[in-house]
């Protein structure tokens, strides 16, 4: 209960903070628009040559693009800013200020930052999704809706755990920005159905970097491809990743001695 209140207060401060820089909203809208335009051009190019890609039709891949944009917005608004701040603080030793506060350290470092304007991506993603579902002549179906939202939530959770694991490595190795860079490259793979990738890449995208679960599974739910086994697998992997992230984080914290502050 205290945790939720804490997270809520940080969220409020984050939003107030963002309102100081309203011009950034316009830059964000432009960025979202550019990313969307390049995504749509890519789709258009592929479907000017073929009618389906590994069994996915154009409206279905439009839905994938929607989910990709939504998840990108969640990562950019709530996950990445927190982790980047953490990386910097570990390197400079200013993490001390967070650790001395009377709250669970992991909770605290995970909720401190919130970039409101990034949620433009989330909104845009949902709009694309609605357009795509309309093109698919989609009928409301309880399992699909439940599967979609639960998969989206689990996907965000897995990406968070992945980021926390990578960031915790900063307790031992200082330069982890390059790994973050690698994540951004691999995340772009989620724009396409995971089935088209060669096996080794598909497995890395599923278990090493949980892009497959974050984007493909919610998309599968909406396009009637989600099986109960996959859903349970996602749940199991979420719990597993969360436990691993928690363990690595605590180990790293023990290793932290405060560089200077």
Partner 1 sequence: MKRYFDIYRSMMKLSILEQWQYPVANYFYMIGMIAEPVIYMVVWSTVANQQGGVVGGYTPGQFAAYYIVWTLVRSMNVVFTPYGWEWRIRQGQLSMSLMRPLHPLHSDVAYFAGWKVVVILLWLPLAFALTLIFKPDLNPTWIEIVVFFFAIWFAYLIRTMTLTLIGLVTFWTTRVSALFELYFAAELILSGRLVPLSLMPAWIQDFAWFFPFQWAFGFPIESLVGNMTPNELLRGLGMQLAWIIFGVILVNIIWKFAIRKFSAVGG
Site for partner 1 (CB under 8 A): which residue of 91, 135, 138, 197?
197
Is residue 165 involved in binding partner 1 (CB under 8 A)? no
The residue from 6, 11, 25, 46 that contacts partner 1 (CB under 8 A) is 46
Copy the structure tokens of residue 242. Answer: 């969360």
Assess 40 for contact with partner 1 (CB under 8 A). Answer: no
Total binding residues for partner 1 by CB under 8 A? Answer: 34
Name which of 219, 235, 230 is nearest 69 in CA terms. 219
Please report whether residue 199 would count as binding partner 1 according to CB under 8 A: no
Q: Is 4 in the site for partner 1 (CB under 8 A)?
A: no
Question: Is residue 38 involved in binding partner 1 (CB under 8 A)?
Answer: yes
The binder of partner 1 chosen from 2, 12, 101, 175 (CB under 8 A): 175
- Bridge partners (DSSP) listed for residue 53: 56
Alpha-carbon separation of residue 246 from 161, 165, 207 (angstroms): 8, 8, 17
- Treating both helix axes as pointing N-terminal to C-terminal, what angle do 142-168 and 228-255 enclose, rounded to 10 degrees? 20
Looking only at residues 100 through 139 of this chain, which bind partner 1 when binding is defined by CB under 8 A? none
Tell me if 174 contacts partner 1 by CB under 8 A.
no
Q: Residue 194: CB partners within 8 Å, gap ≥ 6? A: 202, 205, 206, 211, 212, 216
* Beta carbon of residue 176, minimum distance to partner 1 (angstroms, whole number): 10
Tokens of 32: 């979202």
* Residue of the chain from 20, 100, 181, 260 that contacts partner 1 (CB under 8 A): 181
Give the integer Cα–Cα distance in Å for 221 and 216.
9
Shortest distance (Å) from residue 33 CB to partner 1: 10
- Are 244 and 160 within 8 A, CB to CB? no
Whole-angstrom distance, CA of residue 214 vs CA of residue 210: 6
Residue list 52-81, contact with partner 1 (CB under 8 A): 52-54
Give, in degrees to the nearest 5, the angle at Cα 25 between 19 and 28: 140
Q: Binding of partner 1 at residue 99 (CB under 8 A)?
A: no
Does 184 bind partner 1 (CB under 8 A)? Our answer is yes
Q: Which residues of the chain form contacts with partner 1 (CB under 8 A)?
A: 23, 26-27, 30-31, 34, 37-38, 41-42, 45-46, 48-50, 52-54, 175, 178-179, 181-182, 184-186, 188-189, 191-192, 196-198, 201
């Amino acid at each position: 209960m205290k945790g939720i209140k804490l997270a809520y207060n940080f969220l409020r401060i984050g939003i107030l903070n963002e309102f100081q820089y309203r011009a950034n909203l316009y830059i964000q809208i432009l960025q979202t628009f550019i990313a969307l335009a390049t995504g749509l051009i890519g789709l258009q190019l592929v479907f000017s040559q073929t009618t389906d890609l590994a069994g996915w039709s154009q409206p279905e891949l439009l839905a994938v693009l929607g989910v990709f944009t939504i998840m990108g917005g969640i990562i950019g608004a709530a996950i990445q800013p927190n982790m980047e701040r953490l990386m910097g603080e570990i390197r400079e030793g200013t993490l001390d200020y967070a650790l001395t506060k009377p709250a669970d350290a992991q909770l605290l470092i995970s909720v401190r930052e919130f970039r409101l304007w990034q949620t433009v991506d989330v909104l845009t993603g949902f709009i694309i999704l609605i357009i795509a579902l309309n093109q698919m002549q989609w009928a409301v179906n309880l399992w699909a809706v439940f599967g979609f939202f639960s998969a989206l939530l689990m996907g965000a959770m897995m990406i968070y755990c992945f980021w926390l694991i990578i960031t915790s490595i900063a307790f031992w190795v200082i330069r982890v920005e390059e790994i973050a860079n690698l994540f951004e490259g691999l995340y772009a793979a989620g724009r396409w159905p995971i089935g088209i990738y060669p096996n080794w890449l598909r497995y890395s995208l599923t278990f090493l970097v949980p892009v497959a679960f974050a984007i493909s599974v919610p998309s599968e739910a909406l396009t009637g491809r989600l099986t109960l086994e996959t859903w349970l697998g996602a749940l199991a992997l979420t719990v597993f990743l969360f436990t691993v992230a928690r363990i690595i984080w605590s180990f790293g914290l023990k290793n932290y001695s405060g560089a200077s502050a």
